[in-house]
């Protein structure tokens, strides 16, 4: 069994990028009355206590969300992101950090549905408890699958309302995850060509990352936005995360413009050395 626990990383620079983008997509989807589904193939525990021993051990959030917490010059999307997390904390103190299922739950309307996949036995228990504590009305909107999200995704597509956001956010602990991600996207698009597929990936010096991105960029007849944020020089040993990226297929048309403002800001304020940088490309849209 894999050992990845997201609590170590909650609120780090990669979560900032991923969750700011997720919020942008959800707000955009909420502009239309039509219901939608959110399918999160790698859900995690849902909510994290940044003061507990797991998060404190690495305290990655200190170089992530904590650097933005008190700022008053944030670009619009990052302000939405910080406001969202302020709202789940009392007295302005950063204690709780939402994972992707929680961000989704807070933005969804009663007619929308959230389908979550998680495999880690501890994470799934915490996730299920967290959801149960929200009461019956919320629990009714959510289905948790203790199954492989890569292969389980196709069973959920196309969503009944024919509108949907699919977040694919593996830990990539296993290098096979790169290929599995690509396969899940390709199979997913066959069943649901208009879905918004948001793929997170780590910036690490691995051939598999480049191969996956090349294949994603070559997918026929797709519109996409690709954003990446590097916060420091790649480690000399070749491994270790120095940033992350998000590849969004069928993105809201507003996303690229928002990222043009937020990425330079993140590269400046989340920099861990003077090599921090970003990239932003797109096709169509
Ligand atoms: C990066 S974390 C997810 C974080 C979450 N999406 C968020 O943004 O808050 C990846 C999660 O996927 C789980 N996982 C690993 N392999 C999986 C698989 N094949 N199917 C479903 N979940 C898996 C891990 O236990 C871990 O909790």
Average pLDDT of the segment spanning 69-93:
96
For residue range 163-186, list pLDDT tens digits in order. 999 999 999 999 999 999 999 999
**What is the C-alpha separation between 171 and 44, in angstroms, rounded?**
10
State the alpha helices, DSSP H only, in 4-94. Answer: 13-29, 53-58, 65-68, 76-87
> What is the model's pLDDT at position 162?
97
Average pLDDT of the segment spanning 138-163:
97
User: Which ligand 1 atom is nearest residue 40's CA?
Assistant: 6
> What is the model's pLDDT at position 195?
98
**What is the C-alpha separation between 156 and 154, in angstroms, rounded?**
5
> What is the model's pLDDT at position 53?
74
> What is the model's pLDDT at position 131?
94
**pLDDT greater at residue 28 or residue 206:** 28
Q: Are 225 and 256 in contact (CB under 8 A)?
A: yes
* Residue 26: band (very low, low, confident or very high) from pLDDT cuts 50, 70, 90: very high
For residue 71, report the distance from its CA to the centre of ligand 1, in Å: 30
Q: Are 249 and 197 in contact (CB under 8 A)?
A: yes
For residue 73, report the distance from its CA to the centre of ligand 1, in Å: 33
Please say if the pLDDT value at position 57 is more than 80. no
Our mutation pick for probing the ligand 1 site, out of 25, 124, 170, counting the most ligand atoms within 8 A of Cβ, is 170
- Residues 93-129: b if buried by 16+ CB within 10 A, e if exposed: ebebbbbbbbbbbebbeeebbbbbbbbbeebbebbbe
> What is the model's pLDDT at position 240?
79
For residue 40, report the distance from its CA to the centre of ligand 1, in Å: 9
* Residue 52: band (very low, low, confident or very high) from pLDDT cuts 50, 70, 90: confident
Our mutation pick for probing the ligand 1 site, out of 171, 199, 201, 244, counting the most ligand atoms within 8 A of Cβ, is 171
Percent of the chain clearing pLDDT 70 (strictly above): 98
Residues near ligand 1 (Cβ within 6 A): 2, 4, 6, 18, 40, 42-44, 99-100, 117-120, 123, 148-150, 169-171
Lowest mean pLDDT among 48-57, 209-218, 264-273: 48-57
* Residue 111: band (very low, low, confident or very high) from pLDDT cuts 50, 70, 90: very high
**What is the C-alpha separation between 181 and 148, in angstroms, rounded?**
12
Of 65, 62, 54, 49, give the one whose Cα is nearest residue 3. Answer: 54
* Residue 3: band (very low, low, confident or very high) from pLDDT cuts 50, 70, 90: low
Nearest protein CA to atom 1 of ligand 1, as residue: 171
Q: Are 192 and 156 in contact (CB under 8 A)?
A: no
Q: Are 204 and 33 in contact (CB under 8 A)?
A: no
Please say if the pLDDT value at position 4 is more than 70. no
Q: Encoding tokens for residue 45?
A: 């525990």
Active site residue 112: no
**What is the C-alpha separation between 259 and 107, in angstroms, rounded?**
20
* Residue 264: band (very low, low, confident or very high) from pLDDT cuts 50, 70, 90: very high
> What is the model's pLDDT at position 216?
98
For residue range 205-254, list pLDDT tens digits in order. 899 999 999 999 999 999 999 999 999 999 887 677 999 999 999 999 99
Domains and CATH numbers, the chain: 6-283 (3.40.50.150)
């Amino acid at each position: 069994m894999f050992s990845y626990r997201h609590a170590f990383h909650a609120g780090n620079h990669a979560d900032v990028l991923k969750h700011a983008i997720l919020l942008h997509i959800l707000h955009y989807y909420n502009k239309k009355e039509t219901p939608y589904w959110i399918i999160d193939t790698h859900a995690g525990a849902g909510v994290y206590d940044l003061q507990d021993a797991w998060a404190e051990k690495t305290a990655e959030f200190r170089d992530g969300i904590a650097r933005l917490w008190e700022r008053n010059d944030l670009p619009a999307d990052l302000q939405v992101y910080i406001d969202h997390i302020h709202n789940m904390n009392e007295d302005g103190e950063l204690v709780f950090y939402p994972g992707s299922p929680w961000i989704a739950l807070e933005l969804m309307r009663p007619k929308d549905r959230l389908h979550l996949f998680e495999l880690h036995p501890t994470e799934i228990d915490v996730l299920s408890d967290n959801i149960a504590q929200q009461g019956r009305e919320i629990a009714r909107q959510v289905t948790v699958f203790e199954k492989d999200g890569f292969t389980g995704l196709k069973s959920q597509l196309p969503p009944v309302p024919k509108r949907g956001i699919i977040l694919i956010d593996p830990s990539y602990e296993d290098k096979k995850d790169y290929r599995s991600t690509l396969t899940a996207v390709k199979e997913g698009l066959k069943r649901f060509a208009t879905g918004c597929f948001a793929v997170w990936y780590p910036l690490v010096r691995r051939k598999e990352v480049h191969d996956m991105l090349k294949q994603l960029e070559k997918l026929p007849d797709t519109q996409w936005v690709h954003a990446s944020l590097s916060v420091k020089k790649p480690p000399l040993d070749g491994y270790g995360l120095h940033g992350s990226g998000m590849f969004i297929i069928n993105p809201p048309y507003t996303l690229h413009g928002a990222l043009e403002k937020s990425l330079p800001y993140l590269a400046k304020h989340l920099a861990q050395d003077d090599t921090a940088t970003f990239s932003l490309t797109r096709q169509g849209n």
